[in-house]
Structure 1
């Protein structure tokens, strides 16, 4: 694992909206998963720059796949759905449920730090203040 600083550095907020897409497998998903694997991989490789991360999920301690999670960049919900609907795993109907949620990618290794300068700025934004306050602090 790479060495990280003790405290996360400030990083710019992503320009595009992020969507967390959670897909839960239906009964009998192992066969369509195997059948459509190549098409699925072709799709995610073609659009790889639209994914922050993605991958299969399992129950804790389990071996069997129970679904997939995608963190995608999109202009809006329609754009996120259009991206996902091009994936053979979506079109083959193997998922029992698919949920879309807007996601604020705020801190972590993938983004290289955090998107706020101060707790006051993030509290101000959570109360409906402008996003640019996150990068400046409130009294900048």
Structure 2
């Protein structure tokens, strides 16, 4: 063999040895690689689950905040409405107090009219019915 053939054999032997070393390393690290891939997959799943949980928690917090804001707005509107009613009642009371003489006169006139109407209605119901001849003669016969 010539020197160039020997060098080719050395290169081929070195390549074969390197390939075998790689295969042996692959075989030796295969279980570790599978375990690492499985762990990475589980880590990805856990991260995805954690992200989904965080999103649900954020959604729940957002919903709670939105509900609280609505409640505050409803309470504010109720307070405004109540204060408006109180103000209207106070204004009415002040008007009654400032015009108390006119209110008293109106109440007394109303009570007087009510009494007169009830008296007239009572008198009308207490009247005895009369026949046509008695009415014609004015009750003399």
TM-score (structure 1 length as normaliser): 0.20
Q: Which has the higher contact order (CA 8 A, sep 6+)?
A: 1
The structure with the greater share of residues assigned to helix is: 2
Which one has a bigger Cα radius of gyration? 2
TM-score (structure 2 length as normaliser): 0.20
